[in-house]
Structure 1
């Protein structure tokens, strides 16, 4: 795709031009390279300093692992940055934004998943030599990119009731909850226009990689050096997948692998795939514990700070202890628009549906009892436990789970094709030899 004409420069382009002009003015002195453009991607420019920050993050995240050569790692990271730039620009054109509040919630969830407070998480990153500010903006971009992908790819995926019926009737459908697989993946990409010679060369390369892996080569390091897949910089780690969540071309292969075994190359339209079964675990429980709960939420706002919110929730707790009606107080005071109008009723809640602080308080409060006030990232809560029951996974829940599995499978299959398409249509000018 051609570059756009015009006299308007992006901020990065302005900085790049200013740096060049400054170096010309000071040509008499010894030149000092402050920064340089390494790639132009449509209307964006990528700078050397940005690449170095990303490389440093990759090194920190993979400390203790054998990394590929510097040239290979640099090429992998730069290509990832180019792909992200294309998608971030698509987000810009589509008006996709992530507010500071949404970003803060995401950062807090990440910290909680690592059993840390946000302050502890920030300090841990600093201790690793990673800028917390840069990490925040990277996560913001990843959230925007995810929304672009959901809009561009996800919106085209429709899972019908007939799709679910076919799945339930299949062998894999009957075994969907039986076992889960932890896989790693390498993709040796073959362009759609590849010549027979290029196709054979890719096939030979995949065969050679399989031999090296079976001879003891580290799969994660090999994936980082050789794979064109989206998980390459994570050592090819695909995480845990139920059999029904596997891309269809892996579904027949993964169950037949022994733990630690590497597959033969698997041919697809994208190229040649190699997978390794890291771990396997079986069966999920069909019964789930559900809790019927209602709550009152008090949040801070323009006229109420956190101390005042805490004072108000304490006053409401005392009124409830004195016998006032929970539903009436929830309708009058709760800041949760969804449940407040119905007297704070949240219905039957499954484990994990709520934030950790809510889940923990719900679990530790007896039936027909009201909890003491507690705080989550959403504000101050009081909750009342109205009942508990064990529920079998019903047909509706089962079908919803299968719908999500089939959607995830098709999304994983469609996304690489879409990424190759937008990459081929973008103007990319790399300013350094690769």
Structure 2
């Protein structure tokens, strides 16, 4: 399996930001729910050789409910909510155990950096973040450890799942043939519209009849019926006689009803019915006008990877790479040393060669270290989710053709899609292979 960094998507730590945002919302607007709970220590689940206690469940529920309220998601009955949250806690505990077995940790420096970034996104200093949380009744230490857990999970999933994901050129070709219009940066969109109108004070039966009609039309349209002809015959909208054509919109001027669809629909794609007080709307993405593609910087690089394990510690890996770097700076050939020393077997056979690497082709730690180097520069040893590296920059080039930009975006999209699917399967296997005894019903 090729585990070279250019086959890995970026770190998924950023994907946890909505959770952190909701925690901050809780602190600033929802009062001190966390601080109000009494410690409840009844064991509600056994997870391998560890346990989950009632107080953990209560604390997690206090975080989940504000998130659901923020999204407008109805809060289920208490018993159902407890089961859902407990399942999340069990998966969290299993991942913590797996990370411990693999020697994956989050040191205080990385944690402080993450907390500082969270504070910065909210326009706060780290001290102000702490004060804001504690004013809302949330202990900063609880928030700090929750953040550590999120980073740990991200690193674990990167090592266990993401590093195994590869995206081939034929996959990119197939993706672009079907979905290229989803990836381009949109400047303007041209929309078509069908409205199945509702009378004022519509009855439930009238609402259902209109919705059913809209759903039938969507089936016909997706089956090949001409949208313009259907709009002339069926639409109650003002633009029905123009085939439902709403014309061109700058992205910032798209009506709110279709604002999200303007960014997500592919060219020619038809939306599901969208209901509001006027009736049920069907939107078709007629055309997309792309913005001028931005210039992309690509780097041709080599690297040497040393993985840590129960025998090779972080200090061992760093020291070994420091010695190799001294030899390279002293004149030894990077490629020769990579063949003899790199644990990345895929690139080691090519002298550590990674080829041309673009934005998002590597995890964040690797990309940051590589981008900081001049051409012919050799990095100091640094750590990523896959181990310790040194990297040498061979060349740089700027690419600004729309095809190159689209291929980069397609690779990122496929990596994310495969990553989500693979992570779900990995979590299922992790749970299936574990000993889990749930005692929630008998304790509650």
TM-score by length of structure 2 reads 0.44
Greater relative contact order (Cα 8 A, min sep 6): structure 1 or 2?
A: 2
TM-score normalised per structure 1: 0.45
